Amino acid sequence: MDYKKKIEEFILTECVEDSSVEHISDDQNLLEAGILESLGVLKLIAFFDEEFNIEFPTNELKLANFATLNTIFALVEKLRNVQ
């Protein structure tokens, strides 16, 4: 299963308000680009629970964890290995 692709698709369909965004590069800063905002982060946390069965600990709620696809993917991998 390609978790990074699933995360990108979720962000593009559920979090991005600008329909002209069709792809996110792995290292693109989602926060600075306005692709991901606070509501999008909350949606992602719910998505982690629903799609990957990952409970999100509050100590991981740091903007740096949601900066890029790579950092989000690394967080998912870390949380999957903990549980």
Q: For the chain, list the domains and their CATH numbers.
A: 3-18+25-82 (1.10.1200.10)
What global pTM score does this model have? 0.87
Give burial (CB, 10 Å; 0-12/13-18/19+) of 79. middle
Cα–Cα distance, 74 to 82 (Å, whole number): 12
Given a contact cutoff of 8 angstroms between Cβ atoms, the answer to whether 17 and 36 are in contact is: no
DSSP state of 13: I
Q: What is the pLDDT of residue 20?
A: 75
27-77 per-position pLDDT tens digit: 999 999 989 998 999 999 999 999 989 888 889 889 999 999 999 999 999
Cα separation, 44 vs 15, whole angstroms: 8
